Chains A and B, each alone.
Chain A
Amino acid sequence: MLKRLWALGALVLLAACGGGGGSSSSSGTTTTPPPATLTNLATVTVDQGPPALNTGPDAYTQDNVAYVSVTLCAPGSTTNCQTIDHVQVDTGSVGLRVFASVLNASLLSAMTPQSDTSGNPVGECYQYVDGFVFGSVRAANFQIGGESVANMPVNVMGDSGVYATVPASCSSSGGTNESNVQAFGANGIIGIGTTTTDCGSACASGGGSSAAIYYDCPSSGCSAIIGRASSTTAPFQQLPNPVAAMSVDNNGSVLVLPQAPAAGEATMTGTLYFGIGTQTNNGLGSATVYTATTSSNPSGSGLITAIYKGQALDESYLDSGTSLYLFVDSTIATCTGSGFSGFYCPASPMSLSPTIQGLNGATGSAAFTLNNAQTLFSTSNAVLPGLGANPNVAFPDGAYPNSFAFGLPFFYGRSVFTAIEGRSAGGTVGPYFAF
């Protein structure tokens, strides 16, 4: 609680390396701080991404990605620390992952490699919809805003040595290896989705996996898949949801982004709040709660229903880590320009009115305006509202899949709450989304 009393300016200086919280001295003050000093938050930026992306033969700039900065310190140290910018905010995954290439050598070498029951270091593969990342699992003191988690496991993607070779059982899930900044489009990713850990019970026994696969990594290489316990408190094994592992404000988060002008804009600044209904700045207010599938659902976690043009699509989701709307509607023109395959290119901005329905039966409008992707891409804007694509090139009649994905453009102009499984948040137990 002491952190909450620090003025923001002092926080940057004092808290940068205080992830363990062990070095703070008592001020003797226990009164509730005024709202101006709340520190359960981080500034979010939508911009062109790490400057390193825009160099070299594969130079590009990113769009529709929300970034925050996080601070990591070596366990037990208040000086061997680093603040990492351009870490992607992802409500559709779980766990903090950073690239080895962006970590100072002194910090990387001091981040304790997790070891398994054989005494070998632990590696991790993690799947995204278009590929996978692989690297080590190392503990660090994690800090964002005024929140912190000591000795939290972090997936250090693209780590060297025994982790340089991706296990076959990792790459066999398909898609591209995204284990470098250029391929990934960020210096790291902070997954703050609906589950408490990144694999839950699926990885609890040897050989288990979900989107996360943990490996035994002896000097001969990472091959055997191992079980890792699911815990949101020390001692950790699986990567926890960083929000779930916080000592306070740990029932979810709120991503608040401003409305974007119709034509888009160069950059955008918003706020990520930790906790739901735990402070004066993160209350549900008039938001509607839509409960989602749990990690024990055979189809997976964090799914809700979207009703679109009379069809109930029960594998839909809200995901700040997806940069566009993904849905099937063969009546909307797709782009004809080279390189724009599958993106929607309506002749003029088109108003669409999907309805969201939670497992609790609550319904509400998720209306938005779909814009012409080719027009959006003709600018250098990083904020591209109403960007959408048809993921379904083979069966455009919509026979499959039953999904409407609401990516980051949906979050523009909204406060979107993501509540964590099993945690009571504003009177409702997660998992849920609310807006």
Chain B
Amino acid sequence: MAVKLTSAGVLPLVLWVGLVAGAPAANAALGGAYDSVQADRAHFAASLKSTAAATYTVHTLTLQNGGGVKEFARPDGTVFAVSWRGPGRPDLRQLLGGYFDTMQAENGARAGPRHRRPLTVNHPDFVVESGGHSGAFWGLAMLPGTAPSGFSASDLR
């Protein structure tokens, strides 16, 4: 998946990250450190490319099905947001870690007529947006309180 970030803050600095072995898969990506990005890369058997922006780094995982996952990290390495896009919805338990159960609790079965509505969470400190149809899904999860200043949700595309 091509890097779609085109906002003015993105610097044309591209780092190819090698397949670093031995990183413990302790933390999930969201809220985790750089080792969690490596854990996700291994879990998805994905390729990884990292791009530095002004106030954050984007780790782009290209999945085997052609889709992509982006992980947005602060300068200290902490992942404050993830986004996904592609033919399938990726393993969100892996990507969201402890936040997965919060998302599930917020999106239980609704009473009444079934309208297929996307998974969403709107907490002050944890946000999920998603959408699409079978064969074209996308979404994002973000920890707004930990995002660097100046970061906009539109940067997550």
Chain A contact residues, CB within 8 Å of chain B = 58, 60-64, 92-94, 126-130, 168-169, 171-176, 183-185, 191, 193-195, 198-200, 202, 205, 207-213, 293, 295-303, 315, 317, 319, 321-324, 326, 339, 342, 389, 391-395, 399-403, 405
Contact = CB atoms under 8 A, between A and B. Distances in A.
B102 to A, nearest CB: 11
20 contacts: A92-B135, A126-B134, A127-B137, A128-B116, A129-B118, A129-B132, A130-B117, A173-B89, A174-B107, A183-B114, A184-B114, A210-B67, A210-B135, A211-B134, A212-B88, A298-B67, A300-B135, A300-B138, A394-B128, A399-B152
Q: Please provide the 5 A-B residue pairs with the shortest distance between their CB atoms, ordered closest to farther.
A: A300-B136, A210-B87, A92-B133, A93-B134, A202-B65
B70 to A, nearest CB: 12
A391 B127 CA distance: 13
A389 B120 CA distance: 13
B111 to A, nearest CB: 7
A195 to B, nearest CB: 6
Given A130-B116, A339-B112, A393 B122 contact: yes
Contact of A174 (B1, B86, B119): B119
B113 A191 contact: no
A395 B133 contact: no
B37 to A, nearest CB: 18
Interface of B: 1-2, 45, 64-68, 85-94, 100, 103-104, 107-122, 127-140, 152-154, 156-157
A324 B104 contact: no
B2 A211 contact: no
Given A298-B66, A400-B129, A129 B116 contact: yes
Contact of A326 (B67, B68, B117, B134): B117
A405 B92 CA distance: 23
Of B90, B116, B134, the most chain A CB neighbours within 10 A belong to B134
A130 B133 contact: no
A391 B107 contact: no
Contacts of B115: 64, 322-324, 389
Given A300-B67, A300-B87, A300-B136, A185 B113 contact: yes
Contacts of A184: 114
A306 to B, nearest CB: 13
Given A173-B90, A176-B109, A298 B2 contact: yes
Contact of A295 (B64, B135, B156): B135
Contacts of B91: 169, 172-173
B82 to A, nearest CB: 13
Given A173-B91, A400-B154, 13 more contacts: A58-B111, A92-B133, A93-B134, A129-B116, A129-B133, A202-B65, A296-B66, A298-B2, A298-B66, A301-B87, A322-B133, A323-B116, A393-B129
Nearest to B64: A208
Given A202-B87, A299-B138, A391-B117, A209 B65 contact: yes
A174 B131 contact: no
A315 B136 contact: yes
Given A172-B91, A326-B117, A300 B112 contact: no
Contact of B88 (A202, A297, A317, A395): A202
A128 B134 CA distance: 5
B153 A395 contact: yes
Contacts of A202: 64-66, 87-88
A299 B136 contact: yes
Contacts of B127: 394-395
Contacts of B100: 172, 174
Nearest to A183: B109
A298 B134 contact: no
B85 A298 contact: yes
Contacts of B113: 60-63, 185, 323
Contact of A301 (B2, B119, B131, B135): B135
